[in-house]
């Protein structure tokens, strides 16, 4: 008699696997479309505030004009490219540990959002995106009246 191991299905594990795969896809895209200079990625924080998601990204020293943000229904892609120092600016520097990176980061959202109603603010090096969630479809019972007076 053969025996089989019972494996319990856990949807949370499946979601984690999907998240990891999605991160790999974005990493592959980043690796394919960029050079090694994309080694830095800004830290992010994603919060659920009921009717919206709030995505915060730490970008100290960056200006809004150096950022490109794309919001899709279930993901956000943010790209940044800091302008290179001019030769004259470089000659004035004796020593610097500053980095002037380029980056691209994709963030999978846990719920679909209305990407045409996103609000953004950029204050003190923190980019905040307010992403309104898509309203869930509500199942309703509708009574249909048949007119029997034909």
pLDDT score, position 148: 64
- Contact of 34 with 104, CB cutoff 8 Å: yes
CATH classification of the domain holding 86: 2.60.40.790
DSSP 8-state secondary structure symbol assigned to residue 61: T
pLDDT score, position 34: 42
Q: How far apart are CA 145 and CA 69, in angstroms?
A: 50
> 76: how many CB neighbours lie within 10 A of its CB?
23
pLDDT score, position 33: 43
DSSP-based three-state secondary structure for 13: helix
What is the residue-level pLDDT of the chain in tens, covering all 150 positions?
666 666 566 666 677 777 777 777 766 554 444 444 457 889 999 999 999 999 999 999 899 999 999 999 989 999 999 888 888 988 898 888 877 678 899 999 999 999 999 999 999 999 999 999 998 744 556 667 777 665
Residue 6 lies in a domain: no
Q: How far apart are CA 147 and CA 143, in angstroms?
A: 13
DSSP 8-state secondary structure symbol assigned to residue 91: H
pLDDT score, position 9: 63
Spell out the alpha helix ranges (H) of 7-146: 11-33, 87-91
Q: Could you tell me how many residues make up the chain? A: 150
Residue 27 lies in a domain: yes
**Structure pTM?**
0.63
Residue 106 lies in a domain: yes
Distance of alpha carbon 133 from the chain centroid: 14
- Contact of 133 with 71, CB cutoff 8 Å: no
pLDDT score, position 23: 73
Residue 1 lies in a domain: no
Residue 92 lies in a domain: yes
Number of domains in the chain: 1
pLDDT score, position 84: 81
- Contact of 64 with 134, CB cutoff 8 Å: no
Supply φ then ψ for residue 66, to 5 degrees: -95, 5
Residue 55 lies in a domain: yes
Q: Is 82 left (phi over 0), alpha (psi -120 to 50) or beta?
A: beta
For 90, the domain range is 11-132
pLDDT score, position 31: 47
pLDDT score, position 3: 67
């Amino acid at each position: 008699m053969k025996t089989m191991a019972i494996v319990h299905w856990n949807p949370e594990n499946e979601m984690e696997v999907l998240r990891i795969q999605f991160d790999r896809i974005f990493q592959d895209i980043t690796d394919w479309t960029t050079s090694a200079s994309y080694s830095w990625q800004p830290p992010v924080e994603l919060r659920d505030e009921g009717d919206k998601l709030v995505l915060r990204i730490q970008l100290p020293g960056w200006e809004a004009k150096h950022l490109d943000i794309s919001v899709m229904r279930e993901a956000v892609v943010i790209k940044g490219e800091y302008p290179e120092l001019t030769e004259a600016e470089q000659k004035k520097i004796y020593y610097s540990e500053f980095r002037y990176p380029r980056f691209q980061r994709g963030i999978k959202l846990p719920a679909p959002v209305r990407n045409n109603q996103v609000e953004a603010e950029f204050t003190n090096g923190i980019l905040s995106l307010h992403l309104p969630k898509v309203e869930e479809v509500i199942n309703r019972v509708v009574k249909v009246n048949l007119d029997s007076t034909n």
